[in-house]
Each structure stands twice: as structure tokens, then as C-alpha cells.
């Protein structure tokens, strides 16, 4: 099979891994993660500003648009360490939005938005709808062109961080074709955004009502590049999610090990019992496979053919492993695991949300099987 890729790193990637490891650990202690759950905004604006100042939102943006000019490979270590420390901010949605603009934006659109994003403005995507289908082309929201303007209608779901994003990129159908509209947050009334109750309490997610919204025809992405945009969303999105989930897996395993190394029952540290030790080792083995797939996906990302195989493998492995490791983390904490105070639930809930947003392990395997066997 010649579409199986390799693994490798870049110098910049490893430098960023080092910096991000320390930054995310220092800025996102678990007490702070928990405090932010009850906060309206859901993230620390000072930390978000620092992320912008560090240039992390500019990493995969070309220099001509005030970016750093690196690639998605260098975004991976940052997203990984953010996931590891449950440092949830609009970083992922903003990075992905920039990739969407690069894939389907006109020169003017790129010039208008990419420098802003590179400088620290948040952006997000409005893709999902009520039907719960991960197929991004199965949508009902509409756009109607009237001369120079486009009238939008319908509802989008799971628009993460929408309240504080300056740009929302929404998918709609225009004359039966999937198109993407750039909507400025300022154009959206507060009534059009409804905060959803979502299983991951560390994220802010909204339903966006498009009815009554009008954008300029200039705000549509190039209709001939819709396929490239969809691919960017699926692949860059999956890569970012895989990184966050792999980081989360490492954290939930470490969290479990710490408990197994301190809790005593029957006069023994419970980590000495094989009923707990062996499945923890199995989860750890799966975690290392996740990380291997993750850095292979980062390495192969722009490689035609191999990139998608590597990313789908990473996404499937990461979601399956994160889900199971966090599930066992709850169980192995005993009755404490059943409480909201035990951190295991934070990871378990996040794994469910990430899968819901980006496709679960089986979904990615299905896509992968077509690439491998057909």
C-alpha cells in the first residue's frame, strides 16, 4: 500500500512542543479549568491574548498575510498540550477557520481576515445542523442571491465560541450547491445565538439562527473551491481534534495512575492489583499508538493521498483511545469517579463532544476503508 505514510518532526515543531508544554501547564491548572466552567466566557481573556501574542494563531498562515508561514504540523504540538491541560479556547476553531480561508478565500477575503486572525481575532465555523449528520454536504440552511447580496436562512448547530468570534464561516446551500458565507459577528444579533447545553462543560457552543441575516455576495467563498474547503475542514479539523484528544488521553491516564499509586484498599496500594494495572497498561499502549499516529498525520498532512490516510487513522485511534481511557478512569476511581469533583468526567465528556463535533472513531474508519481497500 503506497498511501501509508511515515513519521518525522521539524525543528520548529519540537521547539513549539517544548514551549507549549510549559505554557499550557502553567496557564491551565485544574482549579482554573473548573473555575472557568462556571464562567460565561469560558476562557481566560488574558491567556487568549497571550496565545495571540505568542503568534500561535498565525503559525499556519503564510507570511504574506502576516502569518508565521509554517504549517499544520507545527500547530499539532500546541493543540496537543492544550488538550492535555484542558486549556479550552477558540484556538482550534480559529486555526481551522484560517485554513478554510486559505482553501477557498479570494485574495480580498484572505487579505481582510487572515492578518486579523494572525493578530489574535477569534473565528469559528457553523457547519452542523439538526439532522446530526457528519456529512458536511447534508445541510438544509439556504442562501438566496439577490443581486449583490445573499439572504440566509436556517439554523446551524454546535457553533463553538460563536459569541466571541469576530468571524463565523457558515455552510449553506445556494441553488443546491454547498457554499460558505463569511459572517461578521457584528452582523449577528444576540437573539440569533442560543447557548446550547453541551456535554463538554469546558467549551461554549451555540445554535445560530441564520433567518434574517444578509451578507454581501463578496462574502461567499469561491464556489469552485467548495471541495477543497470541505477537505480542509475535514482534514485540518480532524488533525486538531486528534491532537487535543491525544493530549487529553495522556492526561487522563496520568490522572488515573496517580490515583492507583495513592489509594489503598485491603492494606495495599490498589495499583498493585492486576485487575487495575493491566487495563491501565493496555490504555497506555493505545495512547502511545495515538501519539505515533498523531505525529505521523502531522508529518504527512500535506502529502497528497497519504495525508488523508494518516489523518483518518489518527482521528480514529485518538477518539477510540480517549473515550476508553476516560471511561476506565471513571471506573477505577470507584465511587469518587461517579462524582462531579473527580476530573475523570471532564475528559470523558470532552471525548464525547470531540467525537460529536468531528466524527467518531467508526466514522473515520469508514472513510479510511474506502481509501485503503477500494
Partner 1 sequence: MADKPNAAELKEYADEADAWFKENTVRDPGFMLPLTFMEVSTDQQFDFLRDWQRKVYEAGYLGASWPKEYGGGGLHSDYQRAATRAMKKYDAPIMLNAIGNGWAGPLILDLGTEEQKQKYIKPMLSAEDIWCQGFSEPENGSDLGNAQLKAVKDGDDYVLNGSKIWTSLGDRAKYMILLARTDFDAPNKYAGLSFFLNPMDVDGITTTKIKKLTGEYGFVQCFFTDARVPADCLFGGEGNGWSMAMKTLEYERGAKVKPVGGYFVKELDVMDIVELAKNSKRGGKPLLDDPVMRDKMTQFMIDIQALNLNNTRRRMPQLMQDRPMGLPLMNKLARTDLIQRLTEFSLEFQGSKAGYYVGDENAVDDGYWHRSYLNSFSATIGGGTSQIQKNIIGEHVLGLPKTR
The Cα 161–Cα 156 span in angstroms is: 13
Nearest of 204, 185, 187, 188 to residue 196 by alpha carbon: 204
Under the binding rule (CB under 8 A), the answer on residue 358 touching partner 1 is: no
Quick one: 205 or 317, whose CB is closer to partner 1? 317
Residue in 163, 250, 323, 350 binding partner 1, rule: CB under 8 A: 250
Name residues contacting partner 1, limited to 44-103 (CB under 8 A).
Answer: none
Mark 306-335 with x for binding to partner 1 (rule: CB under 8 A) and - for no binding: -------x--xx------------------
> What is the Cα 275 distance to its own chain's centre?
34
Torsion angles phi and psi, residue 149, rounded to 5: -125, 160
* Shorter beta-carbon distance to partner 1: residue 105 or 271: 271
- Give me the least distance between CB of 305 and partner 1, in Å please: 14
If we measure between CA atoms, which residue out of 250, 230, 289 comes closest to residue 79? Answer: 250
Site string for partner 1, 287-306 (x = CB under 8 A): -xx-xxx-xx----------
Contact 333, 342 (CB under 8 A): yes
Told to check if 284 binds partner 1 by CB under 8 A, we report yes
Alpha carbons 40 and 245: distance in angstroms, whole number: 24
What's the min distance (Å) between Cβ of 72 and partner 1? Answer: 17
Using CB under 8 A, pick the residue from 27, 173, 185, 365 that binds partner 1.
Answer: 365
On whether the CB atoms of residues 182 and 113 are closer than 8 A, the answer is yes
What is the spatial distance between Cα 355 and Cα 322, in angstroms, rounded to a whole number? 10
CA distance 252 to 140: 38
Q: Which member of 273, 334, 336, 339 binds partner 1 (CB under 8 A)?
A: 273
Q: What are the DSSP E strand ranges found in the chain?
A: 123-126, 142-146, 149-153, 155-160, 167-174, 177-184, 193-195, 205-209, 214-216, 264-265, 268-269
Q: Which of 127, 182, 245, 368 touches partner 1 by CB under 8 A?
A: 368
Interior angle at CA 342, CA 339 and CA 348, nearest 5: 95
285 binding partner 1? (CB under 8 A): yes
Give ∠ CA 49-55-61 in degrees, rounded to 5. 125
Tell which one of 41, 119, 217, 269 touches partner 1 (CB under 8 A).
269
CB of 245 to partner 1, least distance (A): 15
The residue length of the chain stands at 374
Q: Which stretch binds partner 1 (CB under 8 A): 136-144, 203-211, 261-269, 335-343?
A: 261-269
Task: Confirm or reject binding of residue 278 to partner 1 (CB under 8 A).
Answer: yes
How near is the Cβ of 28 to partner 1 at its closest, in Å? 18
- Residues forming contacts to partner 1 in the complex (CB under 8 A) are 1, 4, 6-7, 9, 14, 17, 250, 257, 260-261, 268-269, 271-274, 277-278, 280-282, 284-285, 288-289, 291-293, 295-296, 313, 316-317, 362, 365-366, 368-369, 372-373
Amino acid at each position: 500500500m503506497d498511501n501509508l505514510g511515515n513519521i518525522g518532526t521539524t525543528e520548529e515543531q519540537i521547539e513549539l512542543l517544548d514551549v507549549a508544554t510549559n505554557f499550557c501547564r502553567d496557564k491551565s491548572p485544574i482549579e482554573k479549568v473548573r473555575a472557568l466552567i462556571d464562567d460565561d466566557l469560558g476562557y481566560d481573556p488574558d491567556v487568549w491574548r497571550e496565545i495571540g501574542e505568542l503568534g500561535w494563531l498565525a503559525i499556519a498562515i503564510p507570511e504574506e498575510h502576516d502569518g508565521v508561514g509554517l504549517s499544520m504540523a507545527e500547530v499539532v504540538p500546541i493543540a496537543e498540550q492544550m488538550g492535555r491541560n484542558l486549556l479550552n479556547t477558540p484556538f482550534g476553531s480559529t486555526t481551522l477557520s484560517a485554513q478554510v480561508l486559505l482553501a477557498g478565500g479570494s485574495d480580498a477575503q484572505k487579505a481582510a481576515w487572515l492578518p486579523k486572525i494572525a493578530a489574535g481575532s477569534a473565528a469559528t465555523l457553523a457547519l452542523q445542523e439538526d439532522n446530526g449528520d457528519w456529512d458536511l454536504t447534508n445541510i438544509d440552511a439556504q442562501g438566496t442571491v439577490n443581486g449583490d447580496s445573499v439572504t440566509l436562512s436556517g439554523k446551524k448547530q454546535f457553533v463553538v465560541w460563536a459569541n466571541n468570534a469576530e468571524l463565523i464561516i457558515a455552510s449553506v446551500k445556494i441553488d443546491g450547491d454547498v457554499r460558505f458565507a463569511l459572517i461578521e459577528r457584528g452582523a449577528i444579533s444576540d437573539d440569533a445565538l442560543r447557548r446550547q447545553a453541551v456535554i463538554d462543560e469546558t467549551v461554549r457552543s451555540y445554535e445560530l439562527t441564520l433567518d434574517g441575516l444578509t451578507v454581501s455576495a463578496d462574502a461567499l467563498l469561491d464556489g469552485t473551491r467548495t471541495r477543497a474547503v470541505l477537505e480542509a475542514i475535514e482534514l485540518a479539523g480532524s488533525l486538531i481534534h486528534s491532537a487535543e484528544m491525544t493530549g487529553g488521553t495522556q492526561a487522563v491516564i496520568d490522572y488515573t495512575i496517580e490515583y492507583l499509586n495513592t489509594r489503598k484498599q485491603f492494606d495495599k496500594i490498589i495499583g498493585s492489583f492486576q485487575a487495575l494495572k493491566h487495563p491501565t497498561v493496555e490504555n497506555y499502549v493505545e495512547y502511545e499508538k495515538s501519539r505515533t499516529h498523531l505525529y505521523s498525520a502531522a508529518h504527512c498532512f500535506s502529502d497528497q493521498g497519504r495525508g488523508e490516510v494518516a489523518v483518518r487513522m489518527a482521528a480514529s485511534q485518538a477518539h477510540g483511545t480517549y473515550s476508553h481511557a476516560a471511561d476506565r478512569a471513571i471506573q477505577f476511581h470507584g465511587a469518587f469517579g461517579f462524582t462531579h469533583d473527580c476530573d475523570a468526567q471532564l475528559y470523558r465528556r470532552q471525548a464525547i463532544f470531540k467525537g460529536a463535533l468531528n466524527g467518531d472513531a467508526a466514522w473515520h474508519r469508514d472513510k479510511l476503508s474506502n481509501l485503503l481497500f477500494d
